[in-house]
Every structure is written in C-alpha cells, then in structure tokens.
C-alpha cells in the first residue's frame, strides 16, 4: 500500500470524538459534548422553513456560488450588523460550519513551521487543524477574564524575528472550554498588538449570543467585537477575521457558519473552499435563510439563553454544595461550558476512570492543551442534559472524587 501523507502517518483523532464510545453505554450522563439541547431545537420553525425552501424553486437543489446563496449572505450580514459590526453580504463567506472557516484560513495562511498564537486552554479542533498544517503553536495563557494580553505582549517582545506570528486564535465570548468573556481593555490591547505586530486575529464567536442575564435580571450589553475594534483602527485592512455559526443557536445539523473578512483574504478562502466542497449545501443554506427571515430566531435564542442559564446554575450550585474545596469553578456569563479545576492530589486519569465507571462523562482538561501534560481540570458542558440529570451527574462526580481521594 502506498504511504500516507506524513501528517496522517500516525494521526491522533479528536480527543472529544474519541469519547463517543462511552456515550453509548447505558445510563451514562454526558457533560462532555458541546451539543445544544435537543429540547431547544425549534423543529416546528425549521420544518416550516424547510417546506418554504423546497417550494422556492430549483435553487435549493442546485449547486450555488461558493460564496453562498445571496439570500443567506444578506440575512447573515444583517445578523452580524446586529452584533454591532459593519458587514455587507459581499464581505461574507458562507461556510460548512465555522469549523470549515478556520480550516480555510489555515490553508490560506499557514505554511509548515509558521507561528500561530492560540489561547489556552483551547478548542481542540483548532489545535488539530494547526497540527495537521504543521504550524508552530505558541500558547497564550488565559485567566478568568480571557486571554492575558500582558502575557501576550511579553511573549511578542521576546520572539525572534523569524518566529513572528501569522495569526492568533481566540474565542472572546464564553470561550470553549473556559467559558470566559474577554475583558474590554484586553479587547483593545489585543487588536492594538495585532495591528502593531502585523498578525491576523481569528475571532471565533459561536457562543456570543448565548449570554446570561445579570443577577438583577437585566441583559448585559453585548461586548464590542474585536472585528469592530479592528474597523476602528482605520487601517486599509482590518486584521480581525470574524467567524460565527448557526450551530449553537439554531441547529448544528444545518452545518452553516460564516466568515467576515476583508476582500483579499476572503477571496483566497473562497478559492480554497472551491476545492473542499464547491459550496455549502444550498438546501441547508435555503432552510437557514428562510428560518432567519421567518422572524423566529430572536425568540429561539432567548429561550436558549434562559434555559442554559438555569442549567449552568444547577451545575455550579451542585459543585459548590457537593464538591466544595475539592473542585473549583467560576460561573460563566454565557455559553455552554464550565471549566472546573481540582486539587493536585487527585490524579486526572484516575478521576476520569472513576467518573466513567459511575456513568458520568466529561472532557479531561488535557484535551485543550497543545502539549500533553497532567492537567487538573475538566470541561463540563451543561447544555445538553436537563437539570435533574445535571444534579445526578454532580452526585456521581462527587462519588468519583471521593473514591480517588482515598
């Protein structure tokens, strides 16, 4: 048999997808996947949109332009403007999930050995895409206010010229896995650093709309997008590329994401996409466009925000009452994830094995770091299980912790 390409000779699969076999074990409660809650899918609204898409003429069944269907690009541009950014349909590429958008950027920008800055802990699929591209991954630490821009500035100062970074990847809103919201001053600092050091910033934002209400019941204002700050630089090219997705708010099965970027970069990503899939499924695009035009989207998002907040509170309160002093987490202000750290005296692998044997699943912290190391943390997703299941999962986790502390 002819040899595989070097990067696929000994490939490591996605650490999250490798947990799938555990999921099928009867009675397992999963806090592992970043899956939206099935009870929040607006199946009725999507069925109406699907019927409308099918009766809209042959467009939905034909190939379309790689950039995307005009109706969807318009709807997504309007959506992006509502998030405070300047966006026109022409500046926007429809992608097959936002996952594809990042992959296209890597194809277009990264050569083997190029330096890429990544906030850590990081979304594993980003690390995987960069590894396969043979990028040199430079981790930038985070704290509870997101990526640490002071540490980034220092890192950049000490970097030899030959290792100047091409791009930086961040999830500023309710990051995966830490759940953090990037502080306002850090947003400014990050965009300034990108401008002065000449690297692209990939602002990956699938969770921004899933923000939780404040303690007084008010909805916090949407944080300023890095892309908007990039526009304010007034430079010829905005260094920020904005990515988002309908996966977390409408349905991941649509596989509809989008990229907002300046012309030259967008054009190259479009060319890269031509060889990947010609175009994102026009049927899925038409259903998405009809759904967004139907006016049901805001209520769907509102329902998700309220329900995820309830589930997050159940998880965080459960941890506080049953794992006090042993497992620590900061309640996130939105999104789908709680990052929980645990005592150094607890062995991460032993805890994972004990948790699985007690039928509760989470993603071990090491999945989110570029180098394999002992990480005394785990990502707990509260999005898919209902509140009673979350409560049961925390009880099981507490038993697992008690078992391995002995």
Residue nearest to ligand PMP (CB): 97
Evaluate whether 226 touches 240 at the Cβ level (below 8 Å).
Answer: yes
Per CB under 6 A, which region of 4-12, 96-104, 135-143, 151-159 contacts ligand PMP? 96-104
| Distance of closest approach, residue 26 Cβ to ligand PMP, in angstroms | 26
x/- mask, ligand PMP, residues 171-190, rule CB under 6 A, reads x----x--------------
- For every residue of 270-296, DSSP letters joined together read HHHHHHHHSSS-HHHHHHHHHHHHTT-
In this chain, which of 206, 223, 365, 370 binds ligand PMP, going by CB under 6 A? 206
Q: How many CA atoms lie within 13 A of 251 on its CB side?
A: 19
Report how far residue 266's alpha carbon sits from residue 243's, in angstroms, rounded to the nearest whole number. 12
| Distance of closest approach, residue 114 Cβ to ligand PMP, in angstroms | 21
Angle between helix 297-322 and helix 387-405 axes, rounded to 10 deg: 30
In this chain, which of 66, 79, 80, 98 binds ligand PMP, going by CB under 6 A? 98
The number of residues that bind ligand PMP (CB under 6 A) is 13
When the beta carbons of 206 and 370 are compared against ligand PMP, the nearer one is 206
Per CB under 6 A, which region of 244-252, 278-286, 306-314, 369-377 contacts ligand PMP? 244-252
By the rule CB under 6 A, 335 interacts with ligand PMP: no
| 22 burial via Cβ count (<10 Å: 0-12, 13-18, 19+) | middle
CA dihedral 254, 259, 265, 270 (to 10 degrees): 20
Report how far residue 270's alpha carbon sits from residue 79's, in angstroms, rounded to the nearest whole number. 21
In this chain, which of 80, 224, 228, 245 binds ligand PMP, going by CB under 6 A? 245
Per DSSP, helices labelled H in 113-181 are 124-132, 149-158
In this chain, which of 257, 364, 370, 385 binds ligand PMP, going by CB under 6 A? 257
Q: What element of type H or E holds 269?
A: helix 263-277
| Distance of closest approach, residue 171 Cβ to ligand PMP, in angstroms | 5
Strand 136-143 relative to strand 115-120, pairing: parallel
Angle made by CA atoms 380, 394, 314, in degrees to the nearest 5:
75
By the rule CB under 6 A, 45 interacts with ligand PMP: no
By the rule CB under 6 A, 252 interacts with ligand PMP: yes
Strand 146-147 relative to strand 136-143, pairing: antiparallel
Per CB under 6 A, which region of 81-89, 91-99, 288-296, 395-403 contacts ligand PMP? 91-99
In this chain, which of 115, 247, 285, 288 binds ligand PMP, going by CB under 6 A? 247
When the beta carbons of 98 and 270 are compared against ligand PMP, the nearer one is 98
Nearest alpha-carbon partner for 116 in 59, 163, 69, 54:
163
| Distance of closest approach, residue 32 Cβ to ligand PMP, in angstroms | 12
When the beta carbons of 257 and 334 are compared against ligand PMP, the nearer one is 257
| Distance of closest approach, residue 394 Cβ to ligand PMP, in angstroms | 23
Residue 132 token pair: 């396969």
Q: Who's near 30: CB < 8 A, 6+ residues apart? A: 22, 23, 360, 361, 381, 384, 385
Q: Which of residues 99-128 bind ligand PMP (CB under 6 A)?
A: 99, 123
By the rule CB under 6 A, 149 interacts with ligand PMP: no
| Distance of closest approach, residue 252 Cβ to ligand PMP, in angstroms | 5
Q: In what order do the strands lie in the sheet with 136-143?
A: 92-96, 256-260, 240-245, 200-204, 165-170, 115-120, 136-143, 146-147
Q: What residues make contact with ligand PMP under the rule CB under 6 A?
A: 34, 97-99, 123, 171, 176, 204, 206, 245, 247, 252, 257
């Amino acid at each position: 048999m002819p040899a595989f390409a070097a990067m696929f000779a000994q490939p490591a699969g996605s650490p999250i997808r490798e947990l799938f076999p555990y999921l099928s074990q009867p009675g397992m409660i999963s806090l592992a996947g970043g899956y939206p809650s099935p009870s929040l899918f607006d199946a009725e609204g999507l069925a109406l949109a699907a019927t409308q898409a099918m009766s809209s003429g042959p467009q939905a069944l034909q190939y379309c332009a790689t950039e995307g269907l005009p109706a969807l690009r318009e709807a997504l541009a309007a959506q992006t403007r509502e998030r405070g950014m300047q966006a026109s349909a022409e500046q926007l590429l429809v992608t097959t999930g936002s996952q594809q958008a990042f992959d296209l950027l890597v194809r277009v920008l990264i050569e083997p050995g190029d330096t890429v800055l990544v906030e850590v802990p990081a979304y594993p699929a980003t690390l995987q895409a960069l590894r396969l591209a043979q990028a040199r991954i430079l981790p930038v630490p985070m704290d509870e206010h997101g990526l640490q821009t002071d540490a980034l500035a220092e890192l950049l100062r000490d970097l030899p010229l030959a290792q100047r970074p091409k791009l930086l990847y961040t999830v500023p809103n309710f990051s995966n896995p830490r759940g953090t919201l990037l502080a306002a001053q850090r947003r400014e600092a990050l965009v300034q650093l990108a401008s002065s050091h000449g690297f692209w910033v990939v602002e990956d934002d699938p969770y921004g709309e899933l923000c939780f209400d404040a303690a007084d019941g008010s909805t916090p204002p949407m944080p300023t997008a890095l892309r908007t700050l990039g526009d304010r630089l007034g430079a010829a090219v905005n260094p920020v590329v904005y990515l988002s997705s309908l996966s977390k708010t409408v349905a991941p099965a649509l596989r509809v994401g989008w990229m907002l970027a300046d012309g030259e970069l967008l054009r190259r990503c479009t060319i890269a996409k031509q060889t990947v899939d010609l175009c994102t499924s026009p049927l899925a695009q038409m259903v998405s466009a009809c759904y967004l035009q139907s006016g049901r989207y805001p209520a769907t998002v509102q329902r998700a925000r309220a329900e995820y907040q309830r589930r997050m509170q159940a998880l965080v309160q459960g941890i506080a009452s049953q794992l006090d002093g042993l497992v620590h987490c900061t309640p996130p202000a939105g999104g789908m994830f709680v990052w929980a750290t645990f005592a150094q005296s607890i062995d991460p692998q032993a805890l994972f094995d004990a948790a699985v044997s007690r039928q509760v699943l989470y993603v071990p912290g090491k999945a989110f770091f570029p180098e394999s190391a002992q990480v005394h943390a785990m990502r707990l997703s509260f999005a898919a299980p209902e509140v009673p299941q979350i409560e049961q999962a925390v009880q099981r986790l507490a038993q697992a912790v008690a078992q391995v502390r002995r």
